[in-house]
Amino acid sequence: MSVSCGIVGLPNVGKSTIFSALSSAKAEVGNFPFCTIEPNVAVVEVPDERLEIIHGFVETKRVLPAVVKVVDIAGLVAGASEGEGMGNKFLGNIKECDAVMQVVRCFGGDKVLREGPVDPIGDIEVVELELELADLETLKRNAERVGKKARAGDKDSQFEKETFEQAIAVLDGGKPLRVHSWNERQQQVLKPLFLMSMKPVLYVANVADDDLEGQGEYCKKVAAYAAEHGSDWLPICGDLELELRSMDEEDRQMFMQELGVKELGLARLIRTVYHLLGLQTYFTAGEKEVRAWTFHRGDTAPRAAGVIHTDFEKAFIRAEIYSVEDLQTYHSEAAIRAAGKLRTEGRDYVMQDGDIAHFLIGK
């Protein structure tokens, strides 16, 4: 399945620096507003040490990790929902993403241009407000669209109009749509509108190199805001990450050890995004390839098989399942089978993170 995240925030908070550091892509980084005009896009491999564990026991031609598309979107300003800055073009780029990573400045100093004092919560609120105002316009337009059929007694249109009006009320109350509890039918009605304040948000605190753990006052405010609004957050030093990514492996490991940094920010960010979106990973392993596949937590085996090819979901017959731990214990699939640890699962089986699967598919 395709997963995409949009990096957003006010101008000059470090979005492009973090994008470049996490993706190894070379986004233009500048100390002026709207340095990023067109969105930068990178396909980022998902770090997963289990792939190499599997590869250690399964001889294969290639190893393919899961990937996430990361989009660095132009800086947002107050009034974007009405066309200020990059305006509607910026907002349209967000609509296409599954999740939003909002970068906020959590470092002081005058190295990076800024009008006024550092205020991460104020920055967050500017971005949130613009997304909510854009969603409000979308919902009002669609409520009007279905209004005529609803007044004529069409049941589906009446339900759609009621759902849109309920969403409008949530936004009018100053809350993003993601904090409200929507039933499955309401979600299906709202989904085609690609509402931005409904998307899960990860707040990325861009910190200085003396606050890598995010213990400073700015970060504490971001952490409290994220907890209050049911979101996740993590600290990343964009400048340091960019410097580390530019080093060769030996120098990088030495420098990280000196700084007490256990892993690059990419791994932490991807794990948090997966948690945010309710995503997990299963693997296929054979002579041609060892590969990681992304699925939604709670998916049954047929739906997970459909990630490989859409036809596989309908034609699913059964799955043979074992775990990475089984492979580490018995060292081969043949030994796992001989030990009775290879499980045959049917259509109702709920896939688990770390499953290694062979799917039997009918014609």
3-state per-residue secondary structure call for 54-113: HHHHCCCCCEECCEEEEEECCCCCCCHHHCCCCHHHHHHHHHCCCEEEEEEEECCCCCCC
Say yes or no: 26 and 83 in one domain: yes
Last residue of a domain, one of 172, 197, 222: 197
Say yes or no: 142 and 233 in one domain: no
The DSSP output letter for 263 is S
- Output the pTM of the full model: 0.84
Say yes or no: 221 and 111 in one domain: yes
Say yes or no: 146 and 185 in one domain: yes
How far is the C-alpha of 340 from the C-alpha of 60, rounded, in Å?
A: 24
Say yes or no: 104 and 225 in one domain: yes
Q: Give the least confident one: 5-14, 69-78, 300-309, 344-353.
A: 69-78
What is the pLDDT confidence band of residue 22, given thresholds at 50, 70 and 90? Answer: confident
What is the pLDDT confidence band of residue 40, given thresholds at 50, 70 and 90? Answer: confident
Is residue 159 in some structural domain? yes
| 114, pLDDT greater than 80 | no
Q: Give the least confident one: 55-59, 85-89, 211-215, 338-342.
A: 85-89
* Residue pair 353/282 in contact by the 8 Å Cβ criterion: yes
Is residue 287 in some structural domain? no
Q: What average pLDDT does the segment 22-32 reach?
A: 53
Say yes or no: 108 and 226 in one domain: yes
Say yes or no: 303 and 218 in one domain: no
| 85, pLDDT greater than 70 | no
| 75, pLDDT greater than 80 | no
> If we measure between CA atoms, which residue out of 312, 342, 318 comes closest to residue 329?
342
Q: Look at the chain and report how many structural domains it folds into.
A: 3
- Residue 121 pLDDT: 96
If you average pLDDT over each of 37-41, 72-76, 203-207, 240-244, which comes out highest? 203-207
Paired sense of beta strands 99-106 and 201-207, if any: parallel
Tell me how crowded residue 113 is: count the other CB atoms within 10 A of its CB.
Answer: 11
Last residue of a domain, one of 166, 197, 228: 197
- Residue 31 pLDDT: 41
For 278-303, write each residue's pLDDT tens digit.
999 999 999 999 999 999 999 999 99
Written as one letter, the residue type at 28 is E
15's enclosing H/E stretch is: helix 15-23
| 113, pLDDT greater than 60 | no
Is residue 97 in some structural domain? yes
How far is the C-alpha of 307 from the C-alpha of 316, rounded, in Å?
A: 12
Is residue 285 in some structural domain? no
How far is the C-alpha of 252 from the C-alpha of 261, rounded, in Å?
A: 10
311's enclosing H/E stretch is: helix 310-315
Say yes or no: 258 and 219 in one domain: yes
* Residue pair 305/312 in contact by the 8 Å Cβ criterion: yes
Say yes or no: 262 and 355 in one domain: no
Q: Give the least confident one: 2-6, 17-21, 109-113, 326-330.
A: 109-113
Tokens encoding 274: 């997966």
Range of the domain at 342: 298-361
* Residue pair 15/7 in contact by the 8 Å Cβ criterion: yes
Say yes or no: 192 and 204 in one domain: no
Lateral strand order in the sheet of 40-45: 40-45, 67-72, 4-8, 99-106, 201-207, 232-236
Q: How many CA atoms lie within 13 A of 340 on its CB side?
A: 0
Is residue 245 in some structural domain? yes
What is the pLDDT confidence band of residue 72, given thresholds at 50, 70 and 90? Answer: confident
How far is the C-alpha of 248 from the C-alpha of 253, rounded, in Å?
A: 9
Say yes or no: 11 and 110 in one domain: yes
Higher pLDDT, 23 or 312: 312
What is the pLDDT confidence band of residue 11, given thresholds at 50, 70 and 90? Answer: confident
Q: What average pLDDT does the segment 154-163 reach?
A: 96
CATH number for the domain harbouring residue 179 = 1.10.150.300
Residues 6+ apart with CB under 8 A from 115: none
Is residue 54 in some structural domain? no
Say yes or no: 188 and 137 in one domain: yes
> If we measure between CA atoms, which residue out of 353, 316, 270, 306 comes closest to residue 101?
270
Q: How many CA atoms lie within 13 A of 170 on its CB side?
A: 20
- Residue 2 pLDDT: 79
- Residue 25 pLDDT: 52
How far is the C-alpha of 244 from the C-alpha of 21, rounded, in Å?
A: 8
H helices present in 196-290, as ranges: 217-228, 238-245, 249-259, 265-277
- Residue 110 pLDDT: 64
Q: What is the mean pLDDT of the chain?
A: 88
Is residue 53 in some structural domain? no
What is the pLDDT confidence band of residue 84, given thresholds at 50, 70 and 90? Answer: very low
- Residue 78 pLDDT: 56
